[in-house]
Amino acid sequence: MKVLVPVKRVVDYNVKVRVKADGSGVETANVKMSMNPFDEIAVEEAVRLKEKGVAEEIVAVSCGPNAAQEQLRTALAMGADRGILVEHDGVLEPLAVAKLLKAIVGREGPALVILGKQAIDDDMSATGQMLAALLGWGQGTFASRVEKEGDAIRVTREVDGGLETVSVKLPAIVTADLRLNEPRYASLPNIMKARKKPIETVKPADLGVDVTPRLSVLKVEEPAKRQAGKKVGSVQELVEKLRNEAKVI
C-alpha cells in the first residue's frame, strides 16, 4: 500500500518564542525551523511499515512556504520516497490543510495517511480528524501502536485514563502520539541520497482549493508572567510555608 505523510515546517521545539511588540503574532524571522516533532514520528512509522513490507511507497507532503522543501528533504532522508510541496505563503488553518491533503489523496490514492497528533505551533490537534471527515474515512488518533490486519488497521490510542484499541477500515487516517516510536536520525549517505529524490511543487489553485482563513487573529499577547518565588532551606521550612503562608495544605 501507499502511505502519505503530511509534514509541517514549524519553529523548532527548543526555541522559546517571543511575541511581537505590536501584538500581531510571534517572532518567526531568523529562528530555527524544523519538522514538527510528531511528524518525524509519523515519517518513522511509515518507514517502519515499509521495512516490514507492509508499505510500498511513502509520499511526504508539506503545505507551506517554499522553504518547507527543507522539511520534505528531512523526510526523504529518513526514508520517504518522494515529496510534494503545496506552496502557499500565507496562513494555512487545519481545515484548509485538510482540503489540500484531500486533493492530494485524490491524486495519489494512498491506503493510509499518517499525520502528527498536533503541530507544536498552532497546537490545534485537528488536521488528521478533519481530513478523515472530508474523505469519509475512519480515524485512529493519538496512536501509540499501529498494526495492519487484513483490510483494517488496529490502532492503540492514548486516551484519558489509559489506552484504547480500535480497528479502522482501510483506507484510514492515523495520527501519531509521542510513544508510537522513536524517530531515527538520517545518516549522511541517506541525506545525500535524499537530494536526488523528487519533490513536486503544486499550488492550492492547481488543486482547486480555497484556503482563505476562517479565523482572524485580533491580537497575540504574552501570558501573565510567573515570578520566581523564594528558596526554602529545608523540608520543615517548606511544609511550614505551605501551611501558614500559602495555606494550601
Partner 1 sequence: MAVLVLADHKDGALTQPTRSTVAAARKLGEVHVLVAGEGAGAAAAAAARLPGVAKVLTGSEAPALAEPLAAQLVALAPGYSHLLAPASAAGRNVMPRAAALLDVQVLSDVCGVVDADTFIRPIYAGNALATVKSADAKKVLTVRATSFDPVPAEGGNATVEAAPAAADPGLSSFVGAEIVKSERPELTAARIVISGGRAMGSAENFAIIEKVADRLGAAVGASRAAVDAGYAANDMQVGQTGKIVAPELYIAVGISGAIQHLAGMKDSKVIVAINKDEEAPIFQVADYGLMADLFKAVPELEAELAK
Ligand X SMILES: Nc1ncnc2c1ncn2[C@@H]1O[C@H](COP(=O)(O)O)[C@@H](O)[C@H]1O
Ligand Y SMILES: Cc1cc2nc3c(=O)[nH]c(=O)nc-3n(C[C@H](O)[C@H](O)[C@H](O)COP(=O)(O)OP(=O)(O)OC[C@H]3O[C@@H](n4cnc5c(N)ncnc54)[C@H](O)[C@@H]3O)c2cc1C
Closest CA to 218 of 26, 24, 18: 24
List CB contacts of 187: < 8 A, sequence separation 6 or more.
none
Dig out the grid coordinates for 128 from the structure: 488528521
Residue 57 vs 122, nearer CB to ligand X: 122
| φ, ψ dihedrals at 69, nearest 5° | -55, -35
Binding mask 71-110 for ligand X (x = CB under 6 A): ---------------------x-x--x-------------
Q: Is residue 33 part of the contact set for ligand Y (CB under 6 A)?
A: no
Regarding 118 and contact with ligand X (CB under 6 A), the answer is: yes
Residue 116 interacts with, from partner 1, ligand X, ligand Y, none (CB under 5-8 Å by kind): ligand X
Q: Is 31 in the site for partner 1 (CB under 8 A)?
A: no
Total Cβ atoms within 10 A of residue 29: 5
First to last CA, the chain: 57
Q: Which among 123, 130, 155, 154 is positioned nearest to 142, based on CA atoms?
A: 155
- Residue 188 contacts partner 1 per CB under 8 A: no
Identity of the residue, 125 or 241, whose beta carbon is nearer to ligand X in the bound complex: 125
Nearest in space to 178 (alpha carbons), one of 153, 125, 142: 142
Under rule CB under 8 A, residue 190 binds partner 1: no
Q: Shortest distance, CB of residue 45 to ligand X, whole angstroms?
A: 12
Task: Give the footprint of ligand X on residues 16-75 (CB under 6 A).
Answer: 36, 38-39, 42, 61-64
Cα distance between residue 67 and residue 246, in whole Å: 50
**Pick 111 or 241: Cβ nearer ligand X:** 111
Under the criterion CB under 6 A, does residue 185 sit at the interface with ligand Y?
no
Shortest reach from residue 85's CB to partner 1, in Å: 23
Say whether 49 sits in a helix, a strand or coil.
Answer: helix
- Find the binder of partner 1 among 22, 89, 123, 151 (CB under 8 A): 123
* Dist. CA 103–CA 69, nearest whole Å: 19
Binds ligand X by CB under 6 A, chosen from 3, 76, 126, 168: 126
